[in-house]
Each structure stands twice: as C-alpha cells, then as structure tokens.
Amino acid sequence: MSQQDPTIEQHSLASHSLALKKKITEQIEEQGDISFAQYMQMALYQPGLGYYSSGNHKFGQAGDFVTAPELGDLFAKCMAQQFQQLIVKIPTPIILELGAGTGQFCYDCLLELDCLNTLPEKYYILEVSADLQDRQKQKIATLPMHLQQLVCWIQQPLAEDFNGIIFANEVVDALAVEVFKVEDQHYKQMRIAWDDGFIQQWQHFPIQLDAELLNKNLDLQEGYVSEFIPHLADWLATISHNLSQGVVLFVDYGYDSKAYYHPQRDEGTLVCYFQHQANFDYFSNIGIQDITAFVDFTAVAQAADDCRLSVDGYTSQAHFLISLGIQDKLGDSEADYENYYKNTTEMKKLTMPNEMGEKFKVIALSRNFNEELLGFSFSNQLHLL
C-alpha cells in the first residue's frame, strides 16, 4: 500500500482540529465560559475527537513524544522485577495498569514475568481512550496465547476487592488540571470564553476548589500562575478503594510541592507537545497535540493519606531503576554487541540526569503491605514530600 500523501494528511488533521474546536465553542455557547480543566479534558478526551480519543495521538520516535516503555524493554523488565517482589508475597495478585498507551509496557512486562515464573492471576487495563484500547488489543494479540489470556480491558475501576499492583506510567500528567493565578491575594481560576477566538478570563474559584488550593498552604507572590489537579483524592480513591492488599506505583515527570511551586516557576508547568516540539499555545493544534502538566508528588502523597494508603517510597526514576538492577539487564556484549549497544543507549536515556533519570520520579503507595520495596533500596526521598 502506498503511503498517504502528506498534504492529504495535513488537511485531515486540520479539519479534525476544526471539528473539535467547534465542539468546544458549542459547549461554551451552551454553558458560558468553561474552566481550563474542562477545556483540557475536551481537548484530550472528547470521544472520537480528543487527542487521546482519536487516532491522532502519536507515540514513539515518529510521533509527538516517546515514553519509557516505547524506548525498548528495559523499563518494563525492571518494573517486572519490582512486581515480582509483590506477586510472590501477596495472595491472588493481579496487575491493574491505567492508561496503557500502545500496550507496549503490558507486552514486555508479561513476557518478563513469564521468564521470572511469577505471572499475576490477571492483568487488567483501564484505558479511557477507545482508540488506544484497539491499539492495545492488537499488540497483546501478538503475545503467546497463555499470556494473552491474562489480559482484560475494563471501562471502570474494579468493583470487587482485589490484591496486587496498580501501575501507571505518564498517566497522572495527562489528567486535566485547573490553572490559577494569584490576584489581589486571592486565587483566581482560568476560564475559557469565546469571542472570535478562545480568550482567557480570571474569576473566583468555586468554594470547593478554592478550599483545595488553600489546603496546600502555598506562599506565592502576586501574579504567580500555576496549576493543580482538581479532586485528586477522589480520583485516587476511585481507582484504589477496592485494593485490599498491595501497592500503587506511579511514574511521571514532576516535583515535590516545594520545587513545583518555587517562586521562579511562576508561569506553571503546563506544556504542549506537537511532533516532539514543546510549545505553550494550548489554543493551537487542538486535538492533534498533547497538553500536559508536571505532577505535584506532594499532592499525590496527600491524596494517598486521604485514601488510607501509606506513602512508602519516592525517588527518581534513575535511582529506582538502578535499585532494580537495570545495569545487569544489558545482555552480553561479546555474544551480541548490537543488542548490548542498543540497551546501553536505552539505559542512558532512562537514567541520565539530563534525560529522563531525574525529571521522572516514582512514588509508591501501599495498603496492608509493609515490606520495603526493592526499587527504593538505593534511595528513598520521602522527606522531600
């Protein structure tokens, strides 16, 4: 089959973007101005049109961004090592992966767990995007049958009690955020209105969201702009309240709240990705570019407290992967130098401070599991949260 003419592709991207823009303006006409969180939710997840809900999101080298599981299988192999510690200790353990992207992590992780002889009872994927679910199903269909049979897609968090692991890589950064500004010593909420184009307005927050912000006890200067995930504890409770025994592991780019709301970071962390280029124009390329914000891990830890989860570990991705022996998973340089070289390059991307090593963090939240997790044996920086 011949490749699609790039001008045709550009045209269909533009008309796709226009269709979503129309949908958002219709929402504004119907409801009046909308919060930035509502705008971001539609831009990313509007059924059939949002960036993640349509076929336009692009993972990998040829797309908009590359995630750790898309670099190769080292990340998943290390995680499998961490999962093994839990799987052998917890009765009838399952894995629940949130936002599985292309399904690459699930694929590599199950292969590795099979080699380690520690398969879970089931591997559930909770994915909000129907399009990505299809992509994941195609990928998982290439696994050996006994592994395929473990994977199940769910539309809602598990309704019955379960034990095991809840895992999410780069999902928390994809949750819609509220944008705020400090004005006259009050928090003002960014609202999006329409006047021949999208425009921003700043208004008082509804009481509950204002309270969420005040609870953070931030000391910010006039004019400071940043963001936060609204109702984070509710989201965490929804996915974890039926976890009887086990661990929640989130990997994402972010900081503790002191660094997140640093006086110098006074324009927030919101960023868009389009074909590997970062930009700050969330009103352009609607539906065909990613919009994301860094994660405030202190907020995640506070949400965990509210959900009866104990915060067990917090460290950089580099330290986590080194604790799990990434350096021993490179293969034999003499037997297969090409593979060894590929793995070394991948390890550098995952662990070097100027690549993903420091920017990405891992947080572990547990319920009724008291053993120290292997991934934090090299370093645990809970004191930062």
What residue ranges bind ligand SAM (CB under 6 A)? Answer: 52, 59, 67, 69-70, 98-101, 105, 126-129, 132, 169-171, 174-175
Min CB(198)–ligand SAM separation in Å? 23
Assigned token pair, 28 = 């504004």
Q: In angstroms, give the least distance from the CB of 125 to ligand SAM.
A: 9
Name the residue nearer to ligand SAM (CB basis): 169 or 285. Answer: 169
Q: Taking the C-alpha atoms of 251, 182, 273 and 347 in order, what is their torsion angle to the nearest 10 degrees? A: -30
C-beta closer to ligand SAM: residue 45 or 261: 45
CB of 42 to ligand SAM, least distance (A): 13
Q: Which is nearer to ligand SAM, 133 or 377 (CB)?
A: 133
CB of 286 to ligand SAM, least distance (A): 17
Least distance in angstroms from the C-beta of 136 to ligand SAM: 9
Q: In angstroms, give the least distance from the CB of 171 to ligand SAM.
A: 4
162: three-class secondary structure by DSSP: strand
Nearer to ligand SAM, 170 or 312 (CB): 170
- Residue 159, CB-side half-sphere exposure with 13 Å CA sphere: 3
Q: How far is the CB of 199 from ligand SAM (least distance, A)?
A: 27
Closer residue to ligand SAM, CB minimum distance, 102 or 366: 102
Residue 296 CB, nearest approach to ligand SAM (Å): 17
In the chain, which residue ranges form alpha helices assigned H by DSSP? 6-31, 36-45, 68-71, 74-89, 104-115, 130-140, 145-148, 207-214, 232-240, 257-260, 297-306, 317-323, 337-351
Token digits of residue 282: 């969330």
Question: Which residue of the chain is nearest ligand SAM when measured via CB?
Answer: 99
Which residues sit opposite 220 in a β-bridge?
none
Both tokens assigned to 99: 């936002």
Kindly state the tokens that stand for 245: 């025994």
Q: How far apart are CA 171 and CA 178, in angstroms?
A: 16
Tokens of 109: 């992780």
Q: For residues 167 and 261, which CB has a smaller minimum distance to ligand SAM in the complex?
A: 167
Instruction: Tell me the residue type at 128.
Output: V
137 near 101, Cβ under 8 Å?
no
* Choice between 65 and 297, CB closer to ligand SAM: 65
Cβ nearer to ligand SAM, comparing 87 with 291: 291
**Helix, strand or coil for residue 330?**
coil
DSSP result, 227-240:
EE-TTHHHHHHHHH
Interatomic CA distance for residues 96 and 198, integer angstroms: 38
